Amino acid sequence: MDRSRGFWWSPNSDALLVARVDESPVRRWWIADPANPEREPTEVPYPAAGTPNAVVTLALIGLDGTRTEVTWDHGRFPYLARVHWSADGPPLLLVQARDQRTQR
């Protein structure tokens, strides 16, 4: 999805869009290293098909402390793929369906 950060400054630097990712519903997997059986297995969160995904939310935070939740249809589009905020208008979000075949 090529989203390597979780915050975006407004064009005039008076607000910040901030993503929050809650991985608590994601199933944990334990991966062992067969070449080094004496090592503890590593815990890895992985949302396998049919299991719960991470919950991503987005908020607009003003420098004055105001907070406005940004909403979209999380049920149909749980992935926040990209965010773009230019001086030409409000922020633009690209959200995707879990199968990554549909986006808005």
**CB neighbour list of residue 104: distance below 8 Å, 6 or more residues apart:** 72, 73, 77, 94, 95
pLDDT at 18 over 70: yes
Split at pLDDT 50, 70, 90, the class of 36 is very high
Residue 57: pLDDT over 70: yes
Read off the pLDDT of residues 58-92 as tens digits, 9 standing for 90 and up. 999 999 999 999 999 999 999 999 999 999 899 99
- pLDDT at position 2 is 64
Confidence bin at 5 (pLDDT 50/70/90): confident
